[in-house]
Structure 1
Amino acid sequence: MLKTTIGKLRFMGYFEGISLLVLLFIAMPLKYWFNIPQAVSIVGAIHGALFITYCIVIAYVTIKTRWNLIWPLLSVAVAFIPFGNFILDKKLHKLEKTYG
């Protein structure tokens, strides 16, 4: 997966998507149901760092593959939707064969 340009985006998308799910479905319930606000502080910081890295990788892939504007915008948009990166990954897998 890490051998191609789009493969690097797919790899980073997995981590960013997982961090969003951990934040929403583990850290947030710990904060509001069990009164452990540190969970959101820690996971939120990790998620923020991964999101910034994901955006940098999107910029790298866009420049390297000369994508039109729709793919980078779609890649950023799905980062805000739970399970969005995993849905986009299926489309990126097909593109990976085209662009490399």
Structure 2
Amino acid sequence: MTKFFKIIATLEGLSLLLLFFVAMPMKYAYGNETLIRPAGMAHGVLFIGYIILAYLLKEEQNWSFKKFFIVAIASIIPFGTFYIEWKYLKDTQKN
């Protein structure tokens, strides 16, 4: 499950970056709303998947509440999911 979580974490992080640094500037600086809906929808679905998988991983690997909280909060910070993969998931076995 860790391998799948890493994939979702990467995709979630990329979707957040796409939303914050491409779609939103296009909307507010240039008035072009073309990417807002698909980027927002992709990010929303991936965010929900990320949180659910983080909870399942917490239960499977007996994470502390603090570690789960940090992993969950990282999903709303740009580049946060990449940091989580590097800091917390680099030593976990690939399932």
Scaled by the length of structure 2, the TM-score of the pair is: 0.88
Identity of aligned residues (%): 30
Which position in structure 1 is the counterpart of 2:7? 11
Distance 1:88 1:50 in 2: 16
Q: 4+ residue stretches of structure 1 with deviation over 6 A? A: none
Scaled by the length of structure 1, the TM-score of the pair is: 0.84
Does 9-18 or 35-44 show the bigger shift? 35-44
Unaligned runs of 5+ in 1: none
Distance 2:9 2:15 in 1: 10
Opposite residue 93 of structure 1, the aligned amino acid is K
Is 1:93–2:79 an aligned residue pair? no
Distance 1:59 1:81 in 2: 18
Residues 31-70 of structure 1: per-residue CA shift (max 9 Å, x gap): 0122112321221111001100111111111111121112
Aligned residues: 94
Is 1:32–2:28 an aligned residue pair? yes
What is the aligned-residue RMSD (CA, Å)?
1.7
Matches within 5 A, 1:60-79: 60-79=56-75
Is 1:50–2:46 an aligned residue pair? yes
Opposite residue 20 of structure 1, the aligned amino acid is L
Opposite residue 32 of structure 2, the aligned amino acid is I
- Give the match's secondary structure for 1:38: coil
